[in-house]
Amino acid sequence: MNTTAPDPSRRDATGFSTARLEAFSDGVFAIAITLLVLDLNVPEPDSLHGESLAGALAHQWPSYFAYLVSFLVIGIIWINHHAMCALARRVDRRTLFANLFLLLTVSVIPYPTRLLATYLTAGDTDAHTAAAVYAATMVAMGLAFSLLFLSFTRDARALHTPVPRADVNAAMRRFSLGGLAYLATIGIAFLSPVAMLATHALLAVYYCFDQLAPVRRTPVTPR
């Protein structure tokens, strides 16, 4: 009889531990969310042309607004990613790729954020283009998150606790609802870029209310 505790760093022979998936993902989330600050430009002293620094900073409000929304979005995705990973005991190669797709959509976010900050108050057409690119990135991100959720839950043996099919379906319905809202923001982008950004701030708050809650709260069976 083996009374020695299992080595927690030992990997399951038939899959990958979630520990390193989370470590790598945490790294990408942390870097993407922190790189956003590079999108905030300090006005060059020579470019003020007599305007005060306070005035120049005030004119940069689109940068701050886009920064805040993107920070909130990445932060919420991280929290939900955290909740999702807590469901699984091990992951297979397919899940690693689904996760890589999500990380692609997350790590690219500083780019549409910079684009939107630059063009939010530019001429109409270009502001609409920048806003549509931003909204489309969010659609791709939402899609990637849903695919990853499906990948996490499809293999019941990999979960700490089997998640009832009904709960998965309910979560997917909520994701789909969010996905439709995300899609709608592409349309809003052509009406009002500022409204598009505000909608994403609201959607992030919506996702705060723990869309995964019913799944995660399934009582843990004794092990």
| Chain residues 162-201 in contact with its own copies, contact rule CB under 8 A | none
Tell me which stretch binds its own copies (CB under 8 A): 110-118, 142-150, 177-185, 186-194: 110-118
Q: How far is CA 116 from the centre of its chain?
A: 18
Q: How far is the CB of 51 from its own copies (least distance, A)?
A: 10
Taking the alpha carbons of 20, 25, 28, 29 in that order, is the dihedral positive or negative? negative
Binding residue (CB under 8 A) for its own copies from 62, 73, 77, 110: 110
Number of residues interacting with its own copies: please give it, by CB under 8 A.
78
Q: How far is the CB of 37 from its own copies (least distance, A)?
A: 5
Q: Which is nearer to its own copies, 119 or 149 (CB)?
A: 119
Q: Rounded to whole angstroms, how far apart are CA atoms 84 and 21? A: 12
Q: How far is the CB of 108 from its own copies (least distance, A)?
A: 6
Q: Where are the beta strands (DSSP E) in the chain?
A: 16-17, 90-91
Among positions 46-105, residues that touch its own copies (CB under 8 A) are 48, 52-54, 57, 67-68, 71, 75, 78-79, 82-83, 85-86, 93, 96-97, 100, 103-104
Q: Which is nearer to its own copies, 86 or 180 (CB)?
A: 86
Q: Which is nearer to its own copies, 70 or 199 (CB)?
A: 70
Q: What is the DSSP-derived secondary structure letter of residue 159? A: B
13 contact partners, CB below 8 Å, separation of at least 6: none
Q: How far is CA 140 from the centre of its chain?
A: 10
Q: Rounded to whole angstroms, how far apart are CA atoms 45 and 80? A: 42
Could you give the count of Cα atoms lying within 13 Å of 173 in the half-sphere of its Cβ?
A: 8
Q: How far is the CB of 68 from its own copies (least distance, A)?
A: 8
Q: How far is the CB of 166 from its own copies (least distance, A)?
A: 19
Residue with tokens 């945490």: 26
Among positions 4-43, residues that touch its own copies (CB under 8 A) are 4-11, 13, 16-20, 22-24, 26-38, 40, 42
Q: What is the DSSP-derived secondary structure letter of residue 88? A: B
